[in-house]
């Protein structure tokens, strides 16, 4: 009989590997071809790095959740796991939001060269990362007890 949980973990990891592969290809094109080093492509690179980071995190998380649930949900690591889980959950939407704010400012303030510079792009991305870290802080101090029964995991 086919174990559908095991099959879903394999399919999820294949999907995450494809995301990492295509994001790495796109990132390498931006990094190594000089004509692609435009300010807007810095934000595309930020989105690619976000996709790579969440793909790696969630592939490890789901494999550990399937194979070694007691270690990943242990009391000493539970807060950190869910802190990083929260950061991984919001990093791609925040990357798109940061790109949108950059585009908005560069259109509204088109007479000001600062909003078209790489310095502005780095400031936007830095603020994005800081906000992600700050918004996830409550997960570090929240109760670290997780009910394994609520995760619908069976031990066979």
Q: What is the pLDDT of residues 94-116, one digit of tens each?
A: 999 999 999 999 999 989 999 88
**In contact, 99 and 89? CB cutoff 8 Å:** no
Share of the chain above pLDDT 90, in %: 46
48 found inside a domain: yes
25 found inside a domain: yes
Range of the domain at 118: 4-146
Q: Identify which has the larger pLDDT, 154 or 36.
A: 36
Tally of structural domains, the chain: 1
155 found inside a domain: no
63 contacts: CB under 8 Å, gap ≥ 6: 9, 13
Cα separation, 32 vs 38, in Å, equals: 12
The least confident of 58-62, 120-124, 141-145 is 141-145
Cα separation, 36 vs 80, in Å, equals: 37
Q: Which of these, 82, 88, 14, lies nearest to 53 by C-alpha position?
A: 88
């Amino acid at each position: 009989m086919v174990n559908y949980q095991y099959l879903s973990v394999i399919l999820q990891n294949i999907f995450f590997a494809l995301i990492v592969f295509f994001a790495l290809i796109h990132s390498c094109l931006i990094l190594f071809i000089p004509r692609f080093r435009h300010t807007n492509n810095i934000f595309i690179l930020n989105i690619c790095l976000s996709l790579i980071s969440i793909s790696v995190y969630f592939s490890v998380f789901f494999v550990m959740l399937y194979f070694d649930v007691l270690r990943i949900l242990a009391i000493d690591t539970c807060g950190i796991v869910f802190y990083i889980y929260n950061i991984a959950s919001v990093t791609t939407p925040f990357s798109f939001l940061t790109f949108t704010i950059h585009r908005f400012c560069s259109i509204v303030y088109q007479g000001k060269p600062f909003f078209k510079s790489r310095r502005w792009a780095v400031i936007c991305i830095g603020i994005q990362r800081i906000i992600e870290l700050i918004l996830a802080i409550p997960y570090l101090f929240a109760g670290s007890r997780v009910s394994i029964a609520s995760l619908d995991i069976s031990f066979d």
